[in-house]
Structure 1
Amino acid sequence: MTPAPANPESRIANHGAKVVVVGSFNVDHVWTVAALPRPGETLSGHYHTGPGGKGFNQATAAVRAGAATTFVCALGDDLGGQLARALAQADGLDLRAHNSEAPTGTAGIYVDGAGRNSIVIGPGANAELSVAFVEEQRNRIAGAQVLLAQLESPLHAIEAAFRAARAAGARTVLNPAPADADVPASLLALADVVTPNETEFCAQLLRHAGERVDATTLASQDDETLHGWCRRLLPHGTVVVTLGAAGCFVSHADTAMHRDAQSHYRVAAAKVQPLDTTGAGDAFNGALSASWARHPDAAFADHLHYANRYAALSTERAGAAASMPRDADVRARFG
């Protein structure tokens, strides 16, 4: 089965800005319950299924936020793979998929009455993404303004993509998720921007700086303390810590590079009525990358404001990739 080409008539695909996302596609199996299940507990809930995977979520967000986007992944020759190809074509997403004999990746997701979630991933074909296949995409990576990746795919493939992007002068954004990912220092060194959530930040801070911090108290820390921890994690680049309802915190090593007046600051979350927070972090990353690619001369704070609004709006809809809004939706809601 060959990858479906991007729809040449797509309005989104005709934008000049280019984002390449390297990562995972999963078929999500979602149960909505009043409270997240405890060990040994059986609950009744509402079930639905749909597309997901951090890579696909982020790529969908980037293309719907207005950037011409290529998604590099691995898919099985099964119904899940067919779904990915059909959805990519419908969104004008340039899909470049390694055809794997393994089944397409899956995820089991529980969402409680407050919109909080717990997720278990079965990588399947995602684990088959290879350096060789990434190398075949060098021309697309070289033509990108922003490369974005997460860590539900093999690290060596992600690092190969980052090396290719650096060689071509593209900006690199690393979302170090999931939280238990073993991120090597060599990959962090290739990232211009790192975008962990609270749990991911604390996990990587412990691994790379030996600093033990409680993720539940991170948002309440003072800005100077947060800035200091960010500089220890990534001395050379920018760290953006997403803090859920508390917005995000940004820490720069070089303010001039990002056209920001301050070395560190917070951006407040947009006011919404959340239904399902699944994929909100992916919405943020895809929108941030799209905004940066579309408006490379704007202040970084502008991209963060847009990404915060985009991610917030995504939580008012159920699902992961399916919840990603269009750029026009964001503009209509927030101006």
Structure 2
Amino acid sequence: MSHVVVVGSFNVDHVWNCATLPRLGETLSGRYHTGPGGKGFNQAVAAARAGAETGFLCALGDDDGGRQARALAEADGIDLRVHDSSQPTGTAGIYVDEAGHNTIVIGAGANADLSVAWLGRQAEALTGARVLLSQLESPLDSVLEAMRLARASGTTTMLNPAPANAQCLRELLAAADILTPNETEFAALLERHTSHRIESETIATTSDAQLHRLCRTLLPRGTVVITLGAAGAFVSHREDQLRGDVAPFYRVAADKVEPVDTTGAGDAFNGALAAAYAAAHVHAHPFAEHVRFANRYAALSTEHVGAALAMPRLPASAS
């Protein structure tokens, strides 16, 4: 059985590196390359390369993109389980500027065909894992089904509520043991599901006590990890479920690197955190250590161009 199972998307990324991001109506020159991506696949590759036995459940088309996904999963030792779709494999158009910032447009394609019925037939994989990791680039009812099946068997459910514009259901939040939004996603979730409002740009400088209160309002029963980019991460636990930590809330500093491309940094963090937490079933460590490991892993991923292929390879013992 896989220690980490990821349910999510695979995309073929089409990437243009430009001096600046294009503005409305502007045509720029840039350098083009293509490679594998999709939040689900990025996170599965990160978990595998961070040392976890990893499974990936997704939908692929019968095309070059689908064949690429199968070959890459095999190369990284990922247990790939595929819902065959008549739609083309998902795609993404990505612009990256000289500072490593990016904008992304996604064409769901086959990812939209990941169905509740098919996931129900994968119950053995979902319930045998230590950690289930999911995002919001797949149909939300399917993501919810996977999380419910996993949680019913005692698997720890981890939800990365990305992208921020996805309509994350309240039921998804309730099914998550660990929630991992970035600043934009956290602000969007608060606005959608609570009476509280906060500007995403102010989250990194908001007091720890206030952030903890907001996290407890959003996810009363679980752990919230807000990724803050260069400012690191903020962790908020339920008071009676500290996951080995000594404090219910705290910050973890980011590792300093010279970023080349931040496209998959959030996915790197999530895959590495899932891998580290799954390993904790064997070697118990405070949750803060897993977050520090994920921070380091994500930082290293930004030193390379690309998404899935930029994920660092670490030995199994590293997590």
Q: Same fold (TM over 0.5)?
A: yes
Cα distance between partner residues in 1 of 2:202 and 2:233: 14
> What is the distance in 2 between the residues matched to 1:271 and 1:330?
23
Question: What's the counterpart of residue 325 of structure 1?
Answer: 312
Deviation for aligned residue 1:327: 1.6
Match in the other structure for 1:151: 136
Q: Distance in 2 between matches of 1:162 and 1:266?
A: 27
Structure 1 contact 309–330 (Cα < 8 Å) conserved: no
Q: Could you tell me which runs of 5 or more consecutive residues in structure 2 were left unpaired when the two chains were aligned.
A: none
Match of residue 273 from structure 1: 258
Name the amino acid aligned to 2:272: A
Which residue of 1 is the match for residue 112 of structure 2?
127
* Cα separation, 2, equivalents of 1:17 and 1:102: 28
Q: Does 1:315 align with 2:297?
A: no
Query: Size of the alignment, in residue pairs?
Result: 317
Comparing 55-64 and 251-260, the one that deviates more: 251-260
Scaled by the length of structure 1, what TM-score is found? 0.92
**Aligned mates of 1:113, 1:71 — CA distance in 2:** 32
Q: Per-residue CA shift, 1:80-120, capped at 9, x if unaligned?
A: 00000000000000000100000000000010110011011
Equivalent pair of 1:102/1:125 in contact (CA under 8 Å):
yes
**C-alpha displacement at 1:136, in angstroms?**
1.1
Task: Verify: 1:106 aligned to 2:106, yes or no.
Answer: no
Structure 1's 178 and 162: CA in aligned 2 closer, same or farther, altered over 3 A? Answer: same
Letter in 2 for 1:323: A
Q: Secondary structure of the residue that 2:245 maps to in structure 1?
A: coil
1:218: which partner in 2? 203
**1:81/1:327 Cα in 2 relative to 1: closer, same or farther (>3 Å)?**
same
Please state how far the C-alpha of 1:58 moved relative to its aligned partner.
0.2
**1:37-79 CA deviation, whole Å, 9 max, x = no partner?**
1101100000000000000000000011111111000000000
* Deviation string, structure 1 residues 274-306 (Cα, Å, up to 9, x no partner): 000001000000000000001232110010010
Displacement, 1:202? 0.3
Taking the TM superposition and a 5 Å limit, the aligned residue runs for 1:1-335 are 18-254=3-239, 256-296=241-281, 297-328=284-315
Amino acid in structure 1 at the alignment position of 2:178: V
Query: Quick one: distance in 2 between partners of 1:234 and 1:295?
Result: 23
Contact 2:51 2:315 in 1 (8 A): no
- Note if contact 2:50-2:316 (Cα within 8 Å) is conserved in structure 1: no
Displacement, 1:256?
3.9
**CA distance in 1: counterparts of 2:169 and 2:145, whole angstroms:** 13
Q: CA RMSD in A?
A: 1.5
Deviations 1:240-274 (A, max 9, x none): 00000000000001454501100100000011110
Give the 3 Å change call, closer, same or farther, for CA 278–263 of structure 1 in structure 2: same
Q: Report the AA paired with residue 155 of structure 2.
A: A
Structure 1 runs of 4+ aligned residues shifted over 6 Å read none
Q: C-alpha separation between the residues in 1 aligned to 2:74 and 2:15?
A: 24
- 1:166: Cα distance to partner? 0.9
Distance 2:40 2:315 in 1: 22
Q: Is the 8 A contact 2:161 2:168 kept in 1?
A: yes
SS in 2 for 1:50: strand
TM-score, scaled relative to structure 2:
0.97
Structure 1 portions without partners, runs of 5+: 1-15
Question: 1:216: Cα distance to partner?
Answer: 1.1
Distance 1:230 1:123 in 2: 30
Task: Give the distance between the partners of 2:29 and 2:95, measured in 1 at CA.
Answer: 11
Partners of 1:330 and 1:30 lie apart in 2 by 33
Q: Give, as a single letter, the amino acid of the residue that structure 1 aligns with 2:42.
A: N
